[in-house]
Structure 1
Amino acid sequence: MTLVTAGVLVLDCAEPEKLAHFYKELLEAEETDVTANRVEIRNADGTRLAFRRDVNATPPSWPRPENSLQTHLEFVVGDLDAAERRVVSLGRRPIDTKDSIGPVEERGYADPAGHSFTLRRVLPTAPKQG
């Protein structure tokens, strides 16, 4: 019998409703669980994300070198340009990662709370450099 039946990535942020709305629109997801301090969403393929209120949340500083990237989201897309247009239509702008090496085409962004996420054509096979 499997002990773990499901997993969800939880991002801490000052405004979980606002961050959930952004990812709900990006992933064409629906809210599945909403409380005063946490919002969870799930899209049609089963991707689950939750956003938890942290009154002391500060945006990550990545890609600045004084803080290392500890977690980020990656979304595999079929049409990178179309996905970027969607992200931009939701008010986001690309961030300069300066570490896209090799044939993997990817683009980095920051969500409304400052968490980084990447749109990519294929999953990476090489380790993170730097």
Structure 2
Amino acid sequence: MALVKAGLVVLDCAEPEKLAVFYKELLEAEETDASANRVEIRSADGTRMAFRRDANATPPSWPRPENSLQAHLDFMVEDLDAAERRIVELGGRPLEAKAAPGPYEERGFADPAGHSFTVRRVAPTSPKQG
């Protein structure tokens, strides 16, 4: 058995309850634990996240260099346009950034508290026809 197991991603924010709602809706997740300063969620595929209260939390400024990226999340989607509509509907916002080089189509966003994340289009898994 591993000495250390992967835990979960924890985002600091001023209002963990509100940020948890955004990610619960986006990931179709359920709340698994909550206290006065922390809310945890788990999606059907097992993705676990937590949101910790920090009244002094400063969101990253990416793509501007002042406060840089710090860290970000990547989510895989099949339909970038549908994902963007849902993210904006839930209170997220697109980030203006140059397209990243590479084989994946992706778009950058910020959650309601300002944390950046990326949605990437999943490459088709079916074999080529013809």
TM-based fold match above 0.5: yes
**Partner SS for 1:113:** coil
TM-fit CA distance, 1:6: 4.1
2:34 is matched with which residue?
34
For the Cα contact (< 8 Å) 2:93–2:112, is it kept in 1?
no
CA distance in 2 between partners of 1:82 and 1:2 (Å): 39
CA distance in 1 between partners of 2:115 and 2:80 (Å): 20
Q: Any idea what the Cα deviations from partners look like across 1:4-58, whole Å, max 9, x if unmatched?
A: 3441000000000010000000000000010000000000000000000001112
| TM-score using structure 1 length | 0.87
Structure 1: which 4+ aligned runs deviate by more than 3 Å? none
CA distance in 2 between partners of 1:91 and 1:36 (Å): 23
**Partner SS for 2:91:** coil
Comparing 98-107 and 54-63, the one that deviates more: 98-107
AA partner of residue 56 (structure 2): N
Please say which structure displays the higher CA radius of gyration.
2
Q: Establish whether residue 54 from structure 1 lines up as the match of residue 54 from structure 2.
A: yes
What is the aligned-residue identity percentage?
Answer: 78
**Partner SS for 1:41:** strand
1:85 is matched with which residue?
85
Aligned residues: 123
1:65 is matched with which residue?
65
* Structural RMSD (CA): 1.5
1:11 is matched with which residue?
11
CA distance in 2 between partners of 1:113 and 1:22 (Å): 10
**Partner SS for 2:23:** helix
AA partner of residue 118 (structure 1): T
Comparing 75-84 and 33-42, the one that deviates more: 75-84
CA distance in 1 between partners of 2:33 and 2:101 (Å): 39
TM-fit CA distance, 1:78: 1.1
**Partner SS for 1:52:** strand
2:121 is matched with which residue?
121
CA distance in 2 between partners of 1:86 and 1:67 (Å): 27
* Structure 2: 5+ residue stretches without partners: 124-130
